[in-house]
Structure 1
Amino acid sequence: MEEDGCERRNGKEILLQHMRTHKDDSEVTTYDCHFCSYKAKHKSNFNRHMLIHKDASELTTYRCALCPYNSKRKADLVRHRRFTMRRMCPRKRNEA
């Protein structure tokens, strides 16, 4: 929920989102893939799934500047960098 311009979600919203995973498909909106039998209760999961159906030329590839790692998702690269920097840089390891 956005309050006063802040996009950070509160605990209640996160709990409600989690509770959707326990509901029957007939009780919530599902996002159905037109290419396969995949269904999702959360749009973000559906969007992530849809990446597998795209041609490689249609996708943005996020590449690590420190190693050969690459990903279709920016969030995966950010997570990779966070953990890679902890392993490679002693100062970062101490700050974490």
Structure 2
Amino acid sequence: MKRKKAFMASFTSEKLCCHLCSYSSNRHGDLARHLTTHAGENPFACPCCSYCATTKENLISHLCRHTGERPYACPYCSYTAVQSSTIKAHVRMHQGEKPYKCSFCPYRAASNSTLTKHLVKHN
């Protein structure tokens, strides 16, 4: 119960905005972590190579490259992924969800990266 209260207390009703880009959050900790990406701080060092990450989560994902571990599995097929965001986009493909809409034509995509590739056609 204490953890939940502490977690809920970390939220603010106001939107906290990065002064260097369009990022915003309603949590002070998330904004502070985001700001390290602009500061060039990479405090999380890989023990296997020279890679350094801005967040612990990014380092954990990177370590999977060394171990070959792919902890996220698709419930529809044998596909596995290193990051949860990758598996979420993959599952949307199976479910037919296409939440990313092109602002120039009716095209819709299951992932932001697929939409970005599509947008090249409009340039």
Where does structure 2 lack aligned partners over 5 or more consecutive residues?
1-5, 12-24, 98-123
Equivalent of 1:3 in 8, 16, 21: 8
- Any runs of at least 4 consecutive aligned residues in structure 1 with deviations exceeding 6 A, and if so which? none
2:37 partner letter: T
Inter-CA distance 68–30: structure 2 relative to 1 (3 Å threshold):
same
- Of 78-87 and 29-38, more deviation after overlay is shown by 78-87
CA RMSD after TM alignment: 3.3
Select the structure that is richer in helix.
1
- Normalised TM-score (structure 2): 0.48
The answer to whether the 8 Å contact 1:61/1:73 transfers is: yes
Inter-CA distance 45–63: structure 2 relative to 1 (3 Å threshold):
same
- Normalised TM-score (structure 1): 0.58
2:32 partner letter: L
The answer to whether the 8 Å contact 2:72/2:87 transfers is: no
Q: How many residues align?
A: 80
Residue of structure 1 in register with 2:103 after alignment:
none
Report sequence identity in percent: 23
- Once the two structures are superposed, residues 28-55 of structure 1 have per-residue CA deviations (whole angstroms, 9 ceiling, x without a partner) of x601111111001211111110100104
Inter-CA distance 72–22: structure 2 relative to 1 (3 Å threshold):
closer
Residue of structure 1 in register with 2:67 after alignment:
54
1:86 aligns with 2:86: no
- Once the two structures are superposed, residues 42-75 of structure 1 have per-residue CA deviations (whole angstroms, 9 ceiling, x without a partner) of 111111101001045xx5461341x553323444
Where does structure 1 lack aligned partners over 5 or more consecutive residues?
88-96
The answer to whether the 8 Å contact 1:62/1:74 transfers is: no
The answer to whether the 8 Å contact 1:39/1:46 transfers is: yes
1:40 aligns with 2:45: no
Distance 1:19 1:60 in 2: 28
Residue of structure 2 in register with 1:91 after alignment:
none
Distance 2:90 2:58 in 1: 20
